[in-house]
Structures are given as C-alpha cells and as structure tokens.
C-alpha cells in the first residue's frame, strides 16, 4: 500500500496551467517543419474583409461600366421634357402614357415634346399615290431616328392617318429616310380634305409611349371624291351619315358589319359606355356560313382597335388583353377583349384592323359615349 502510494507520489500532480497548455497543443498542434502556420483569428477576419471589399469594388465597377456602355441613342430623358400649354394644368404628352390604363389621348390639347414637319414630293391628290417625308425632332431640335426608338408591336413608328370624314383611315409604318430624323411613307388618299396624322412611338430614353401630330392637304381627284372640307360632322360627308358604319344589332347592344362573307361584331361589357370610366370592348369575327376564321397575327396581336372622335382631337390605339400569341383564339368564333377609358362624351369611330388569311382588313364601328 505504501509502495503504491509512493508510485503515485512520484508523478507530479497536474496543475491547471499545465492542463491548459496540453489542450492548446492538441487544438493547435505545432506546424511541421516547412509547413505554413495557420492564420490567427485576427488575420482570418482581415482576409475575409479584404475579399468582401474586392467583390464590392468589382460589382460597383461593373455597374458603372454598364451605365457608360452606348445604348445606340444620343438622346436623354431631358430631351423629351415639355411643359404644357397655358391653362392645361401641367399636362404633357409624357403624362398621358399609362400602359395599365389604355385611354383616348387628346393629342391636340397637349404639347408634345416632339416636333414634326411633313412634306410631299408634290401636291397630294385623291386617288393618286404620294410620297411623304415626316421629320421628327426633339423640342431642342435633335433628330429622332431609328436608334432612338424601341420596337413596339414589330415596328418603331406607327402612323394613324385619317381624313376629315373619318372614312379614309390608314395605319402605316414609315421607313427611315436618307437624313437622320426623317421617315418616309407612301400613301394613296381616297378623299380630298385636310388629313391628320398621329404618330405613336416609344423613345429609348424614356421607355414610355409618346405621340405627335401633323397635317397635310389633299386635293379632290374626281367626281367620285367628296370635297372633304371642314371637320367631320361639319360640311363634309361624315362617316356617321354615309351608311357605311356597322349597325346596331337588335336586342344585343352590339354593332355588326357584314362584308366579304364575314360577320364582324363590336360590343361593350356595360351599356352605355360612360366618359371617364374604363370600358371593356369585345371584338368578334365569324363566317356567315360557319367554318374556320383564318385569323392571323398582325403586329404581334390578333387584332388592333383605333378610335377617333368626330373632331379628330386625338386617338386611342388599343391592343387585345389576350396578348399571348401562342394561345390562338377559337378557330370558328374568335373573340378578343380591349380595355379603354374615354374622358369625354360624344360620338367616336372605332376602326378594327385584322388579318384574314393574309388579307389586311379594316372595319369601322360607331361608339356612343355617354356623360
């Protein structure tokens, strides 16, 4: 017993400091000769912070490089800023653009930040083709060319052109001219009178739709042509009185036009359509004898609607809510819906544009808007 006790006594009893040293050596063994010592806690944190700093600096550099890359346009958002005319309460053409709320645009009542000039190679005469050159410039005089505009519905510039009677309507897409800011188109007007042109486009600098207006005179071309003098609803033969508009269908509230073996119908979800309230219009096509309607896309949509008021003070360019071209409408009873808000009561003409087996078709409908 004494020997055992002596043996234990021969081994020094570990103290707290020795035990801590052994723990440290086990957790942090001494590096082998030639091996790199592991970083201490402070060094590791500094290295991590340096990595974060480099990553952040790289991200900031990439951001500014992307901002400085050329976009193809030399115009900025400021080039499309324009104040309103006196008494208009600060409304400008740029303020009208709300894709979530399609509406009738009173282009004549606001100041557009885009200036237009229009010239033709010679006097325009009804029944004869004329070549026109439309020039678009910013308020400061900078030309607006193809690089300055986004592609919208397959085109960079849409022109809605209508005569005083609202009977001769065209939707054209001009080509860039020889000079920057010039756009060229050809047209054979059908009637005499002062035609009005509404331009619809989206600058790269703003990313929002803008509108501009121009006018040109057309001389009467023959006995079959109306003189077209004055505004629609005045002395000229208005489309409302011509008998060529679609007619109301009994008991349905819809307007119907029948031509070339097709039945075209335009109706509103609520009657009457009221000024200042969003309305839903439905456009439908069927074959008179039944069968498949060969409806094809036109400008990335299965139909377009464009509305004018009698005074041609503006327009509404509408696209169907069924925007997915991969989902084709019903083959025999295609039906498309359009949302629109019209601010003023009155009489309007809605032109439907569609493609039937490769044939571009235009059909006018009357639309009464109640107060």
309: tokens are 């008021």
- Judged by average pLDDT, the poorest of 31-40, 278-287, 326-335 is 31-40
Asked whether residue 26 carries a pLDDT value surpassing 80, the answer given is no
pLDDT at 102: 80
For residue 272, is the peptide bond before it cis, meaning its omega torsion is within 30 degrees of 0? yes
- Which helix (H) or strand (E) segment holds residue 172: the answer is strand 169-172
Query: Distance from CA of residue 26 to its chain's centroid?
Result: 70
DSSP 39: P
pTM confidence score:
0.73
For residue range 87-111, list pLDDT tens digits in order. Answer: 444 445 544 455 567 889 889 888 8
- Mean pLDDT over 123-127 rounds to 96
Residue 5: C-alpha distances to residues 9, 11, 14, 231 (Å)? 6, 10, 17, 126
- Other beta carbons less than 10 A from residue 337's beta carbon: 14
- Judged by average pLDDT, the poorest of 17-26, 187-196, 254-263 is 17-26
pLDDT at 241: 58
Q: How far is 172 from 185, CA to CA, in rounded Å?
A: 8
- Mean pLDDT over 167-194 rounds to 96
80: tokens are 């499309």
Q: Mean of the per-residue pLDDT values for the chain?
A: 81
Q: In the chain, where does DSSP find H-type helix?
A: 2-10, 16-27, 41-68, 239-242
Q: How far is 224 from 263, CA to CA, in rounded Å?
A: 28
For residue 339, is the peptide bond before it cis, meaning its omega torsion is within 30 degrees of 0? no
Q: In order of start, what are the domains of the chain with their CATH numbers?
A: 71-230 (2.60.40.1940), 245-371 (2.60.40.3340)
Asked whether residue 195 carries a pLDDT value surpassing 80, the answer given is yes
- Mean pLDDT over 230-258 rounds to 60
- Nearest Cα neighbor of 181 from 231, 226, 213, 142 is 142
């Amino acid at each position: 017993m004494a020997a055992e006790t002596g043996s234990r006594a021969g081994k020094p009893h570990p103290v707290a400091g020795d035990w801590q040293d052994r723990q440290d050596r086990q957790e942090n063994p001494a590096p082998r000769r030639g091996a790199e010592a592991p970083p201490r806690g402070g060094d590791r944190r500094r290295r991590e912070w340096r990595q974060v700093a480099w990553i952040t600096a790289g991200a900031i550099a990439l951001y500014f490089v992307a901002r400085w890359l050329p976009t193809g346009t030399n115009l900025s958002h400021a080039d499309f800023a324009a104040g309103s005319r006196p008494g208009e309460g600060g409304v400008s053409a740029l303020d009208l653009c709300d894709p979530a709320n399609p509406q009738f645009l009173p282009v004549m009542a606001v100041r557009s930040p885009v200036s237009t000039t229009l010239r033709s190679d010679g006097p325009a005469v009804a029944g004869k083709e004329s070549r026109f050159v439309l020039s678009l410039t910013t308020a400061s005089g900078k030309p607006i060319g193809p690089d300055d505009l986004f592609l919208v519905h397959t085109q960079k510039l849409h022109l809605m052109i209508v005569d005083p009677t609202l009977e001769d309507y065209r939707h054209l897409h001009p080509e860039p001219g020889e000079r920057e800011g010039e756009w060229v188109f050809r047209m054979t007007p059908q009637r005499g009178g002062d035609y009005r042109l509404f331009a619809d486009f989206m600058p790269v600098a703003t990313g929002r739709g803008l509108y501009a207006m121009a006018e040109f005179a057309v001389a009467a071309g023959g006995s079959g042509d109306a003189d077209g003098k004055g505004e629609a609803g005045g002395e000229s033969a208005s489309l409302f009185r011509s008998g060529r508009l679609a007619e109301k269908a009994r008991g349905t509230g819809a307007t119907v036009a029948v031509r070339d073996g097709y039945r075209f119908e335009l109706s509103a979800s609520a009657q009457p359509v009221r000024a200042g309230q969003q309305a839903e219009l439905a456009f439908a096509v069927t074959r008179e004898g039944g069968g498949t309607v060969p409806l094809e896309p036109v400008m990335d949509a299965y139909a377009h609607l464009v509305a004018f008021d009698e005074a041609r003070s503006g327009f509404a360019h509408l696209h169907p809510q069924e925007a997915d071209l991969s989902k084709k409408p019903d083959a025999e009873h295609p039906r498309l819906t359009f949302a629109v808000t019209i601010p003023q009561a009155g009489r309007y003409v809605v032109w439907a544009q569609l493609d039937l087996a490769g044939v571009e078709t235009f059909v006018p409908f009357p639309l009464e808007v109640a107060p």
